[in-house]
Amino acid sequence: MTIPSGTAAVIAPYDGDGPYPRAFARQGWRTVAVVPEHRLRPPAYRTAPVPAGYAGSVVHRGVRQTVKALRALGVSAVVAGSAEGIEAADRIAWQLGLPGADPASSPLRYDRGAQAARLSRAGIPALRGIRTTSPAAAVAWARTCPLPGYLLAPAVAGIPVEPVECADALQINSSWPVMRHAAVRYSGSAHLVLTELPSRRQYTVQTVTRPGPDGCPEHVVTGVWADARSGPGRPDRTGPLSSDSPPARTLTLRTARVLDVLGVACGPATTRFAYGAGDEPVLVHSLAAPVVTPADEALRRTTAVHLVAPRMKPL
């Protein structure tokens, strides 16, 4: 399929020379970086330079000004370049009349706690836990839900802050101040999530979503990766799954349901699941923005198998 060329705006691309300029250039598109002004950035990124590889840049001071600038540049697609760019990308796309998600539901596409609550209401398993700014509330929840271990993480997924395992209330309280400081530094939010400890058997599903002919989102699964983890942080090693393996088929279908419930309407997403003792995948988190992981690096060096669910169509 030939994709018409155009100009895409990438909102808050804080990863330097990220994947977007190259990915869009392969399809004949140019990219414009929309960089929030200093006061709108999380503290860790307030001195970050304009990322390389973009055809131009726009300083984001407010939605109205940014929409006006992007309209003048002929922008025909808007995507988030980081977790911090998701809400702004949703609002800007909405104002431009371009394909995008409902701005009212933006937290569903990056906030672990919001995702778990919404998926639970939809009957889709996610990690049990609590989203709060209060360590006392987190400890109280842990006491009402006694488990062999817990995972403490920023509510905002996709930021460079590793979750930590906690065995009891003492460790939750001792880990809280450092985790809160890191969460604020990289996301601007003091909300943390305390969840049950996920199984080490985890999988990462990478997707791209676009509007279909009927206007409904089409989710294309571009890779399913098995992650071997010895701890709560990044995987020790990863590998692509065969498209005919049972986990790949199950995860492909489950990812489509998750993305629909979370309102992902366009652009890339990275979704992580864990398997416990049973055969039911449990959502760890989903992020509607690119995430650089060892799996992403491997994807650039190899040809990934495209796994397409019945409701999904290949590119």
Sign of CA dihedral 42, 43, 47, 52: negative
Each residue of 161-192: pLDDT tens digit? 999 999 999 999 999 999 999 999 999 999 99
Q: Specify the DSSP class assigned to residue 85.
A: G
The burial of 296, by beta-carbon neighbours within 10 Å (0-12 exposed, 13-18 middle, 19 or more buried), is given as middle
**Threshold 0.75, pTM exceeds:** yes
Each residue of 13-25: pLDDT tens digit? 987 666 788 888 8
How far apart CA 123 and CA 94 sit, in angstroms, is: 29
Closest CA to 83 of 115, 110, 62, 60: 110
Amino acid type, 227: D
How far apart CA 160 and CA 152 sit, in angstroms, is: 14
* Structure token pair of residue 54: 């973009």
Ranges under pLDDT 70 in the chain: 1-4, 16-18, 228-238, 242-244, 277-278, 291-315
Identify the pLDDT of residue 212: 85
H-type alpha helices, 110-197: 112-121, 135-144, 169-187
In order of 173, 178, 186, 211, the CA distances from 162 in angstroms are 17, 11, 12, 33
* Structure token pair of residue 133: 């700014």
Q: Specify the DSSP class assigned to residue 120.
A: H
Identify the pLDDT of residue 214: 85
- In three-state form (DSSP H/G/I as H, E/B as E, the rest C), the secondary structure along 247-268 is HHHHHHHHHHHHHHHHCCCCEE
